[in-house]
Structure 1
Amino acid sequence: MTTTVPETGTRPVHKSSPGAARGPRRTGRIKRIGLPYLLLLPALILELLVHLVPMVIGIVMSFKELTQFYIRDWGTAPWSGIDNYKLSVDFNGPVGESLLHSFFVTVGFTLLSVGLCWAIGTTAAIYLQDTFRGRGLLRAVFLIPYALPVYAAVITWAFMFQHDNGLVNHVLHDQLHLTDQPSFWLIGDNSFYALLTVSVWKGWPFAFLIVMAGLQNIPRELYEAAALDGAGMWQQIRRITLPSLRPVNQVLVLVLFLWTFNDFNTPYVLFGKSAPEAADL
């Protein structure tokens, strides 16, 4: 008697080679590594077009003899070599003397603006550390100058600095009687103070915001212990607040200095194409 073994319906299993399994894993790993760079590509292209390309064009233009006849088509302007740079560093000539004057005015303006922005911002941030009614509203009001568009804010200040019907002269001369006659704020020596006022007004809220964030990292227990030891408010600020804010202040002052020193929009919108000598940055 013969016995028939039934078919199980199973198929033979073929073992895949190690290289075949490694291939898809390698491809997936490459995709995961390359995906962040692919997502950054639009931002890198935009950065290239906005910053690097204009910088290279500016360097090329500095070696050309640009006049009113070539300013629209600077590519056809003749090459001048380093003559433009020689003219700029000749401080006995009119161009070099004007450049040196602008440099000293810019440095003085930057130091005053950064110092005032830091002092006002730090004072406001320390004052708003205490809890009182309306503190949130006051914080929002303090940040308004920083949130406003630069052009709109500076144009508004230009109107307020007008000689005949400006708000500044109306308050100082007509209301408070602090001046004998209305002052010219956009020409003459007063133009420097007008520019400094606008710069500090729109810059100190940034210092206030950064210092206020830095104050959140200082433990309140330090102030409580200092108060128990008899330290007053000024001693607490000098011994606790300012030393704890040193890393924050270093970055803050550096950023404010770079922003203020390179600021072009504020003097250009406030004075137009020809700035007064006292505010010729």
Structure 2
Amino acid sequence: MKSLKKFIKSDTAFAWILLAPATLALILIRVLPLIEGVGISFTNRRLLNDRPTRVVLFENYIRVFTQDKEFWNAFLFTLIYTVFVVALSYAIGLMIALLMNMKIKFRGLFRVLLLIPWIIPAVVAAASWKWALNDQSGVVNQILKSLHIVSSSIPFMANPFWAKLVAIFFGAWKNYPYMALSLLAGLQTVPEDTKEAARIDGANTFQLFFRVTLPQIRPVTVVCTTLMFIWTFNNFDNIYLLTGGGPDGASQVISVLSYYSAFARMNMGYASAISTVMLVFMLIVAVFYIKMVMKEDKE
């Protein structure tokens, strides 16, 4: 009894009291729907309840892994899309971060401007890109034809290859500001005396960059690229708003496929199975991320 009273009066108990509302909200909003979604994946539940719901155990998962070519096509493109978006975002972000780390005029203004793609709502950005890339009146095709680069309009949204390419560049354009800001913060932590010592030892600009700067920002690089991989792999709005997964499913990612399975084909059980597979894959990536972060902290 005395130990209980002592615990109630302790800082630990006060901390748990403060955490209780947020923890309860997290359970109600995140944990319970997640558990329900995994449970639905083992049933044949439909959105309209036009047939009795029954437990089918692993039938949906067997279909996902052995029978659904659409899922594997979406999974493959999701990986390709994610890898290229992260790689392009990192390359563009690193170049901009290096530029913003220099002492140039209007540096503060440039830092604000680089945030524009990130802060523009996805629906507005997608609508702007679709208008610019329209094969009839889009400004991009008009410029290309006026410069005699192409003789006829490029069907950016109607051609599978171009639709995939546009989706990747759109994703990189939306995400590079986050990478640029994160890498800029990392660059500003690189000690100037370390770079100065490398210059005295005869290091040129490229040696200074690859042997001093990049190793110094490696922890930031690992964290940013891993987090962006998770976010991009799970992203729904960019693809859905820009291409809708078309043409003919060419640019479809797993999140869009899950959405169509649930709300267009009314198959909630199968959509939940697809989402659960995504969850397991992301958990594996998250474990890898945590191990990488712990390794960086030890170093």
What interval of TM-score do these two structures reach, taking the shorter chain for normalisation? 0.7 to 0.9
1:204 aligns with 2:183: no
From 22, 30, 47, give the equivalent of 1:71.
47
From 61, 64, 68, give the equivalent of 1:88.
64
Tell me, what secondary structure is at the counterpart of 2:190? Answer: coil
User: Matches of residues 132-151 of structure 1 in structure 2 within 5 Å?
Assistant: 132-151=104-123
Q: CA deviation at 1:213?
A: 0.6
Asked if structure 1 preserves the Cα contact closer than 8 Å seen for 2:167 and 2:243, the reply is no
- Name the structure 1 match of 2:20: 41
Residues 195-227 of structure 1, C-alpha deviation per residue, up to 9 Å, x if partnerless?
Answer: 011100011111101100111111112222222
Provide the C-alpha distance between the structure 2 equivalents of 1:61 and 1:75, rounded to a whole number of angstroms. Answer: 15
User: Aligned AA for 1:145?
Assistant: P
Asked if structure 1 preserves the Cα contact closer than 8 Å seen for 2:245 and 2:251, the reply is no
Provide the C-alpha distance between the structure 2 equivalents of 1:131 and 1:161, rounded to a whole number of angstroms. Answer: 36
Higher RCO (C-alpha 8 Å, min separation 6): 2
Tell me, what secondary structure is at the counterpart of 1:279? Answer: coil
Residues 113-151 of structure 1, C-alpha deviation per residue, up to 9 Å, x if partnerless?
Answer: 111111111111112211011111111111111122223
Whose helix proportion is higher, 1 or 2? 2
1:62 aligns with 2:34: no
| Bigger Cα displacement from structure 2, 203-212 vs 161-170 | 161-170
Evaluate the alpha carbon distance shift between residue 34 and residue 27 of structure 1 in structure 2; reply closer, same or farther with a 3 A threshold: closer
User: Matches of residues 119-198 of structure 1 in structure 2 within 5 Å?
Assistant: 119-174=91-146, 176-188=147-159, 189-198=161-170
Evaluate the alpha carbon distance shift between residue 160 and residue 26 of structure 1 in structure 2; reply closer, same or farther with a 3 A threshold: same
User: Aligned AA for 1:84?
Assistant: N
Provide the C-alpha distance between the structure 2 equivalents of 1:28 and 1:56, rounded to a whole number of angstroms. Answer: 32
User: Aligned AA for 2:154?
Assistant: S
Residues 34-75 of structure 1, C-alpha deviation per residue, up to 9 Å, x if partnerless?
Answer: 332222223223322332222222212212224xxx313499
Provide the C-alpha distance between the structure 1 equivalents of 2:215 and 2:172, rounded to a whole number of angstroms. Answer: 24
What 5-or-longer segments of structure 2 have no aligned partner? 254-299
TM-score (norm 2): 0.76
Provide the C-alpha distance between the structure 1 equivalents of 2:144 and 2:248, rounded to a whole number of angstroms. Answer: 22
- Name the structure 1 match of 2:209: 237
Asked if structure 1 preserves the Cα contact closer than 8 Å seen for 2:118 and 2:178, the reply is yes
Evaluate the alpha carbon distance shift between residue 171 and residue 65 of structure 1 in structure 2; reply closer, same or farther with a 3 A threshold: same
Q: CA deviation at 1:108?
A: 1.2
What 5-or-longer segments of structure 1 have no aligned partner? 1-21
Asked if structure 1 preserves the Cα contact closer than 8 Å seen for 2:126 and 2:242, the reply is yes
Instruction: Let me know the Cα RMSD of the aligned residues.
Output: 2.5
Provide the C-alpha distance between the structure 2 equivalents of 1:65 and 1:104, rounded to a whole number of angstroms. Answer: 26
Q: CA deviation at 1:28?
A: 6.7
Residues 159-201 of structure 1, C-alpha deviation per residue, up to 9 Å, x if partnerless?
Answer: 2222212232233333x33222111112222100110111000
Evaluate the alpha carbon distance shift between residue 196 and residue 243 of structure 1 in structure 2; reply closer, same or farther with a 3 A threshold: same
Asked if structure 1 preserves the Cα contact closer than 8 Å seen for 2:7 and 2:13, the reply is no
